[in-house]
Amino acid sequence: MGMYNPPHPGEIIRDFCIEPLGLTVTEAAKAVGVTRKTLSALLNGRSGISPEMALRLSKVFGRSPEGWLKLQLQYDLWTTQQNVDLKDLRPIKAA
């Protein structure tokens, strides 16, 4: 079972990577090798962690790329579960 209402990965990056190091968004973006606009969109929940971003975050802040992608997957799955109505779907039974 997944996490209940997981935070957007951007919040985790801001709270556990950028702020503790005293970095500005501009400084962090430069370290990660992306534009300030790109990092800002991630930090503000307007974009997610792509495989490329996961590699960049892993190199700069640690944690495996898979770990970064797992945070995004948990967030995406929980968010989707809140918005998709599956009540009329039934499993297909073998003949």
Domain residue extents for the chain = 9-79
pTM to 2 decimals?
Answer: 0.89
pLDDT digits (tens, 9 = 90+) for 49-81: 999 999 999 999 999 999 999 999 999 999 999
Give the Cα separation of 65 and 15 in Å (integer).
18
CA dist 31 and 61 (Å) reads: 9
Picking from 29-33, 38-42, 91-95, which range would have the lowest pLDDT averaged per residue?
91-95
Residue 34 confidence (pLDDT) above 80: yes
Cβ burial of 74 (10 Å; 0-12, 13-18, 19+) is middle
Domain 9-79 coded CATH 1.10.260.40: yes
